[in-house]
Amino acid sequence: MKIPALRLAAVTVCLFAATACNADVSVGGTKPISQADLEKQLTSMYTPDDPTATISTSCDGDLDAKVDATQNCHLDVGKEKADVRVTVTAIDGGEAKFDVLSYVPAETVAATVQKSLTDQGYQVDSIACDDELIGKVGEKTTCTAKPADGDGKIEATVSSVDGLMVNFDYKVVS
């Protein structure tokens, strides 16, 4: 494979700062947190860098009020986008406490790496990544690049996280 070991400075997933990364929501026992309440709570947790930008949040469904229950949500802030995973960490006196963690979907990692390589003049037919990139420094995923002259492996590694913006580098590993 003739793709050089290049670095991608950042994938711009979202350009707004997190004002909080965890929350408490009153759920009244073991009832799930409704999708609408979860979306409202997430929307209120973030402040856009651009004061004119609006925030919209969509979640895949309700969040069970059980420890370790998860729900994936998507945020749009103006033209920027971010994906987060909400995980219930505790239930205390009828309140669900949860953490919010950014992640980059595998398809977004692949598209970003492919665009970077193409922008540098390299011919890559397709890139597919094994998994998403969790928004924690050092997290990794492996991608397979399919150029005309054979497959190659690329490793993407989270280099920094700023609010909901997950930055990653990549390198060719085979």
- CA 110 remoteness from chain centre: 13
pLDDT tens track for 88-125: 999 888 788 889 999 999 999 999 999 998 898 888 89
Cβ contacts of 51 within 8 Å, gap of 6 or more: none
Q: Average the pLDDT over 80-90 and give the result.
A: 92
pTM over 0.95: no
What DSSP designation does 64 have?
Answer: -
Average pLDDT, the chain: 83
Beta strand 126-129 with 133-134: parallel, antiparallel or unpaired?
A: unpaired
Q: What is the pLDDT of residue 2?
A: 42
Phi, psi of 12 (to 5 degrees): -85, 100
Amino acid at 58: S
pLDDT tens track for 1-20: 344 444 333 333 333 333 33
Cβ contacts of 117 within 8 Å, gap of 6 or more: 3, 6, 124, 145
